[in-house]
Structure 1
Amino acid sequence: MASGDTSGFRLPAGLPPGHVTPCAAPALWLSDEPVTTPATWWARCQQQARETGLRPVLYSWPSPPDHPQLPDDIPESQLDADLERAWRSYRTRQLRRQELPVRADELPEGVTPWEDDPGPPHDQWPGLAPAGLATGIDYPDDTAYLAVEKLTAGHHGLRGAHLGLVPATRSSDIPAVMGWRCEAPRASLCNMLRSWEGRFGTRVVALQGATLHVSVTRPPRTLDHAVHLALEHVLTGADNINDGTTPFPVYAESLVDNHLWSFWWD
């Protein structure tokens, strides 16, 4: 289907050849081939998002949609209460791990367990992390563009990404609306992303197989704040945080002043 065939979309002018994916509701426009200068394409479409109602996302290795949802159909949750329940379950497993350390054969091949990883330093659920503080100019779209530039210029493998346009009301709904195929619990993930969007100025900017990349306008500035927030990252269930390869204190420290968060689910 040519890029000029909107099929219900109000597409930006001058797009590369693309198509509306079948079996997607409400719909997803996707470029037929990886785009050159993907950061430029992302910025151009983001600038027109209010007019078109379409939010851009870079998409490597696209696959057929998996049960896409309308934004209004994504169930709202009491995030704090849901995370507290998840924390209680996680804490039980954490205490069990401390009593029975992980064996080397339970980790991915070639990975040595961190026997001294203390995990999150909480004996009870601490509540949601406070919002990040703005410093200087607070423009989430500008931060997102810089994150996209970083992802497409470095070793992340997104230089050859397709351009996707998603009719999502907000950036945090992109994974559910486009029917992103992953092992993550999409509804609870979108509620987490909605909360981060308000507290930290996040934007979903790219999907790379089972990896989600999120730009962050107001990241934690102190280690204490990062440790509090890192617990929420743990409770997403993302494998890159929970597979035993990075000690919790090291991961938490990596969030300080970090404007790009990445999560993957095996």
Structure 2
Amino acid sequence: MVINPSALGLDLPSGAMRVQPSLWYANDPAQHDTWARLLPAREACGMHPVLLVNEESRSLTWDKDLDVEHVSHPDDHDLEEVLISLWSSVQAEDADQGDADTIAPFTPEWPGLAPAGEPPAQADATAARVAAELLDAGRLKAARAGLIRVRRSADIPVALGRLGPCNHADTGLLSTVLRSWEDRFGIRVVALHFDRLDVSVAAPPRSMMEALAVAAEHHAFCPDNVRQGYDTIREYAERALLGKQHWTFRWD
């Protein structure tokens, strides 16, 4: 069933429903408080907020160029099996490129799941703040508000049929990992670009040991994060994850 949130009396900017994939999409660019204004739609009609960023240099829009028929669903996957498979694939690539030392202190064997962070009681408040900070800093240029009817924030990329990371992994596999991060670290999918994902993190790692464990999962999830900008996974853990309430991922 398609529900138009504009008909529910919510305080939303002007917008309209799109089809295939089904989403409500704002007409005008997002403002500082847009994500927070969208949040009541979750309780009112089960639609989760997200900021959708059009790439100005590409002829792609958020009501086209997506494919819900060609992404799997996270209900069909096991988290550990997904991460083991992704980790193994990345290790094979690192070995071929002579980058095996990048993952020290880890080995090519999957190190296991990172422990959960502190109870993420303020996940929505963290997401609203992170979204506002990204907008204010100009990091979400041309972003527009979107509402997607899903059970949880982690499923937004699948519901949209987003194919951005297809050169690395099926979107359904990545949403399987996002679901676990939602449970363990209080993440919310804040913004989607065609090749980038921004999430807020209510319970980030607070020690270097915790950050390293999370970094291993990130390397499996999006190896370009470490390969393009950091010499080692340890450097990535320290600079990009330790205490950070915003994680970003880009697939080339």
Could you say whether these structures have the same fold, taking a TM-score greater than 0.5 normalized by the shorter chain as the test? yes
Q: 1:80 to 1:53 in 2, by over 3 A?
A: same
Tell me the residue number matched to 2:40: 47
- Cα contact 2:48–2:148 (8 A) shared by 1: yes
Matched residues in 1 for 2:93 and 2:2: separation? 49
1:97-176 equivalence runs, <5 A: 97-98=97-98, 118-123=102-107, 124-134=109-119, 138-156=121-139, 158=140, 160-176=142-158
For structure 2, the 5+ residue unaligned runs are 55-60
Is 1:261 matched with 2:247? Answer: yes
Structure of greater Rg: 1
| CA positional deviation for 1:209 | 3.2
| Cα distance change of structure 1 residues 224 and 73 upon mapping to structure 2, 3 Å threshold | closer
- Identical positions, percent: 32
Q: Count how many residue pairs are aligned between Structure 1 and Structure 2.
A: 236
Which residue of structure 1 lines up, in the alignment, with residue 236 of structure 2? 251
Separation of aligned partners in 2, 1:133 and 1:183 = 29
Contact 2:90-2:223 at 8 Å conserved across structures:
no
Partners of 2:88 and 2:141 in 1: CA distance: 40
The superposition leaves residues 123-158 of structure 1 with CA deviations (integer Å, 9 ceiling, x where unpaired) of 222111110124xx82100111111111111141x2
Measure, in 1, the Cα distance between the counterparts of 2:250 and 2:20: 25
Secondary structure of 1:33's aligned partner: strand
**8 Å contact from structure 1 (residues 132, 199) kept in 2:** yes
Deviation at 1:7, TM superposition (A): 5.4
Partners of 2:158 and 2:102 lie apart in 1 by 34
CA distance in 1, matches of 2:215, 2:92: 18
What secondary structure does 2:221 align onto? coil
Which residue of 27, 32, 44 maps to 1:32? 27
User: What SS is found at the alignment partner of 2:49?
Assistant: strand
1:32 aligns to what SS in structure 2? strand
**1:208 corresponding residue in structure 2:** 193
Amino acid at match of 1:191: T
- Give the secondary structure class of the aligned counterpart of 2:189: strand
2:155–2:175 CA contact under 8 A, matched in 1: yes
**2:97 alignment partner AA:** R
Which residue type is aligned with residue 94 of structure 2?
Answer: Q
Per the alignment, do residues 18 and 230 of structure 1 end up closer, same or farther by CA in structure 2, a change over 3 Å counting?
same
> In the superposition, relative to structure 1, how do residues 120 and 90 fare at CA in structure 2: closer, same or farther (>3 Å)?
farther
2:210 to 218, 225, 231: 225
Provide the C-alpha distance between the structure 1 equivalents of 2:163 and 2:47, rounded to a whole number of angstroms: 20
Looking at structure 1, the residues matched to 201 and 82 of structure 2 have their Cα atoms a distance apart, in angstroms, of 23
Normalised TM-score (structure 1): 0.79
1:21 to 18, 22, 35: 18
**C-alpha distance in structure 2 between counterparts of 1:96 and 1:257, whole Å:** 33
CA distance in 2, matches of 1:81, 1:189: 12
Preserved CA contact (<8 Å) 1:131 1:200 = yes
- Kindly provide the CA deviation profile for residues 206-251 of structure 1, in whole angstroms up to 9, marking residues without a partner as x: 11331110000000001111111111111113533334x3122221
